């Protein structure tokens, strides 16, 4: 059993303590601890390491940061809570699972809300990103930079998906957020929220038939070995965020805050470049391994199937209607 699986079983508080032990007690009072779900050579991980180095360099070692990769500090929803509490100082999160804590981020997790990945970057770098960032700050999370995560598509071990009817009856792992359960149910599939680290084994043993993700995550987790049909539905374009605990942020001097913010922005730009390279490399890897990749010629039926997901969301969150419309009406 990997360390990561063992740690996954621990409670969030124990995990925080374990992380101190991992650091061997050597962490100085000014060492920030950062959560990351991905393997070390992933674009997110490389950019986070660069963020950490830049902080140490620009503060002459007064403030340092250590990144804990592979979710050793816990699952994503727990880690988000730990950041809000200031137990973990920073992390790189997908805005999907963050929706349980920060309603505004749910807007970015609505299926097909962004028209393309470049449109998502442009909107997140402007007013839409500012509005979402305000919502995050109100819940104790300070965004430092919007990271890329491409578009998510369905994959499974049974058959290619070309129409919503192909999702019917499939057992699909989703990230922890009711929106994703509703999304799969709208196509008559069976959605199972589950930790990222458990998906490989669950597909392998048939607990689920598949999941949905971008190609770098499908490749880096080896999910392509157990779910060989990768169908380019591109139904979710969800930004990710390098962000800091407001509690940790408030302990920094103004100079340090500026250094951390600049390092966060710089790391996001770096990550977006690395992301483009990794997407291409991942597609090559999975195709060489015999994955059956299919493009989806007509996405309109998938978009139409999402009508009830939007209706339910807006009914529950009338206050977010303007933000939803701002994105939907953008070019
Ligand atoms: C990845 C994302 C992770 C995590 C994962 C998942 O694309 O970068 O933060 O959300 O998907 O599906 O759980």
**242 pocket-lining for ligand 1 (C-beta < 6 Å):** no
pLDDT digits (tens, 9 = 90+) for 119-165: 999 999 999 999 999 999 999 999 999 999 999 999 999 999 999 99
What's the confidence (pLDDT) of residue 27?
53
Encoded tokens for 317: 């969150």
* Cβ–Cβ < 8 Å for 314, 324: yes
Which parts of the chain register pLDDT below 70?
1-29
3-state secondary structure of 308: helix
**177 pocket-lining for ligand 1 (C-beta < 6 Å):** no
What's the confidence (pLDDT) of residue 30?
85
DSSP β-bridge partners for residue 99: none
Ligand 1 atom showing the smallest separation from residue 44 Cα: 8
Ligand 1 atom showing the smallest separation from residue 213 Cα: 7
**175 pocket-lining for ligand 1 (C-beta < 6 Å):** yes
Ligand 1 atom showing the smallest separation from residue 96 Cα: 10
What's the confidence (pLDDT) of residue 29?
62
Between helix 178-185 and helix 307-316 the angle, nearest 10°, is 150
Count of Cβ atoms closer than 10 Å to residue 122 Cβ: 15
What's the confidence (pLDDT) of residue 5?
34
C-alpha distances in angstroms, 256 versus 9, 46, 87?
35, 22, 19
- Cα separation, 153 vs 274, whole angstroms: 20
pTM: 0.91
**215 pocket-lining for ligand 1 (C-beta < 6 Å):** no
Cα of 196 from ligand 1 centre, angstroms: 7
* Burial bucket for residue 173 (CB in 10 Å: 0-12, 13-18, 19+): buried
Domains assigned to the chain: 3-103+117-147+241-281 (3.40.190.170), 152-236+284-328 (3.40.190.170)
- Cα separation, 69 vs 193, whole angstroms: 22
């Amino acid at each position: 059993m990997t360390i990561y699986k063992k740690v996954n079983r621990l409670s969030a508080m124990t995990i925080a303590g374990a992380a101190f032990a991992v650091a061997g007690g050597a962490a100085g009072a000014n060492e920030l601890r950062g959560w990351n779900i991905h393997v070390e050579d992933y674009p997110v991980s490389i950019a986070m390491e660069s963020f950490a180095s830049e902080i140490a360099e620009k503060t002459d070692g007064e403030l340092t940061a250590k990144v804990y990769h592979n979710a050793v500090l816990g699952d994503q929803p727990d880690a988000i809570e730990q950041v809000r509490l200031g137990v973990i100082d920073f992390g790189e999160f997908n805005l999907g699972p963050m929706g349980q804590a920060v309603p505004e981020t749910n807007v970015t997790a609505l299926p097909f809300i962004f028209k393309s990945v470049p449109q998502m970057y442009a909107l997140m770098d402007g007013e839409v990103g500012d509005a979402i960032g305000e919502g995050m700050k109100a819940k104790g999370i300070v965004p430092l930079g919007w990271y890329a995560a491409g578009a998510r598509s369905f994959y499974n071990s049974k058959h290619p998906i070309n129409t919503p009817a192909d999702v019917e009856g499939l057992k699909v792992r989703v990230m922890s957020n009711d929106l994703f359960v509703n999304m799969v149910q709208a196509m008559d599939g069976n959605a199972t929220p589950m930790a990222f680290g458990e998906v490989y084994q669950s597909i392998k043993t048939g607990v689920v038939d598949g999941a949905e993700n971008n190609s770098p995550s499908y490749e880096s987790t080896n999910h392509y070995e157990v779910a060989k049909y990768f169908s380019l539905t591109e139904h979710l374009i969800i930004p990710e965020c390098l962000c800091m605990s407001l509690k940790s942020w408030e302990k920094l001097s103004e100079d340090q805050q500026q250094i951390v913010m600049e390092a966060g922005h710089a790391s996001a730009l770096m990550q977006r470049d690395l992301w483009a390279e990794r997407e291409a490399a991942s597609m090559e890897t999975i195709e060489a391994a015999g994955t059956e990749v299919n493009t989806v010629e007509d996405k309109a039926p998938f978009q139409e199937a999402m009508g009830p997901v939007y209706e339910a969301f807006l009914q529950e969150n009338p206050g977010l209607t303007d933000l939803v419309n701002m994105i939907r009406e953008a070019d």
